[in-house]
Structure formats: C-alpha cells, structure tokens
A = this chain, B = another copy of it.
Amino acid sequence: MKFYDCSTAPSPRRARIFIAEKGLDIPTVEVNLREKEQMTPEFAAINPYLTVPVLELDDGTRLNSTQGVWRYLEETHPDPPLMGRDAREKALVADREWRVEVEGFMAVGEALRNYAKPMADRALTGKHNYEQIPELAERGRARVPRFFEDLDRILADSEYIAGDVYTVADITAFVTVEFAGWLKLGLADDQSNAKRWYEAVKARPSSAL
C-alpha cells in the first residue's frame, strides 16, 4: 500500500489519525498542497479529483476519499474497531460521522475556501476553478457555532459522538474543531460536554499528528 498525505491539511488528517489509531505503518508520500503539487499532471494521473488522502492498494486500486480509505483499513485491520462493533453501532457511527462531516467539517471548509486569499479562484477542490462566494463564507461562519451546539447536545448523552467508544465520528468532529481554529472559532465556555470530550480526544497520541 501507499498513502498520499499532506501533513498541513485537515482532510488527510482524518485518514492519518485513523492509520495511527490502527497502529499501522504505511509508506507515505507527502503532497505539498501549499505548493499546489496536487495540481500537477503527475498527481492528476493518481487522483483525477486532485485531492488527498489517497490510498493506493497493492493491486493498483486507488481510494480517493477518506471514506474509502477508512473502510478498506477497517475491513482489513479490524482491531481496534473504529467504525462500530455491531449492526446498531456501525449504523450509528455512519449516521453521526456523516452528520458531523456535512454540518461541521464542510461548513468550516466553505467558510475558509470562500474567504482565504490564496484560494481566490479555488473555492472548490478539483480540476475546475470556481470563484469565491463571499455570502457562502459568511454562511459557513454562521453555521459553525450552531454545529458546536449540536455537538454539545449529543455529548451530553454519551461519552463519545456515537456511543461509549472512540470512532471515526470523533475523528471527524475533532479535526473539525481544530480546523475551525483557522477561522478563530472554538467551543464556547459553557459547552462543557463538548469541552470534556475535546480534552479527552486531544490527549490521544494520534491527535498530535
């Protein structure tokens, strides 16, 4: 296997943390997004969507998304389980991880990509250029604190996002909270459930990656 990563970017970080939690050591290629290495013809031949993470399997299959990377490694290296242990938990992890990605991670991404000067015509990833939409940056910013409210509500009822163990739902939520720091947004002081959870997750060795 070969793992295409970018050590400064939040999307591949979700795969990187997962790999560390599994205790795996996969040969890694660093793709420097700040130098736009993902836009080269060489990288386009690896992933036409021009994004990391990518996991290349030994048969040449390439998985071009966090979802694909996670699922492959969960199936081939089931311990420790990070995507649920029984049918109900697997479903709850899929459900909540999806929700966190769409309501949290994507909102932060929208706010940032439609605002940051270096991304002036790169409001979306991929081979087509899209101009920034300032109203979308504002909407993204407005959504993040509301996402944090939901997080705090969920974490009032359970230790981790999808129950009593750490899963990929926590990985996406943790990376989202840290990603929101780029916008100078963070958990509110009175969100004590989310804060308790954040400190617990941050203490894991994988969170330093």
Measured CB to CB, the residues of A under 8 A from B are 48-49, 57, 59, 61, 63-65, 67-72, 75-76, 86-88, 90-92, 94-99, 103, 124, 126, 128, 130, 133, 135-136, 139, 142-143, 146, 150, 153
Q: Can you spell out 5 A-B residue pairs with CB atoms less than 8 angstroms apart?
A: A57-B88, A59-B88, A63-B92, A72-B88, A133-B133
Q: Could you say how many copies of this chain the assembly holds?
A: 2
* Residues of chain B lying within 8 A (CB to CB) of residue A69: 91, 95
Assess whether B95 is in contact with A68, with CB atoms less than 8 Å apart: yes
- Given A87-B76, A88-B57; A65-B98 close (CB under 8 Å): yes
The smallest C-beta distance from A19 to any residue of chain B, in angstroms, reads 14
Taking A68-B91, A69-B91, A75-B90 as given, write out 5 further A-B residue pairs in contact, using a Cβ cutoff of 8 Å, ordered by the A residue number.
A49-B99, A65-B98, A67-B98, A72-B90, A103-B126
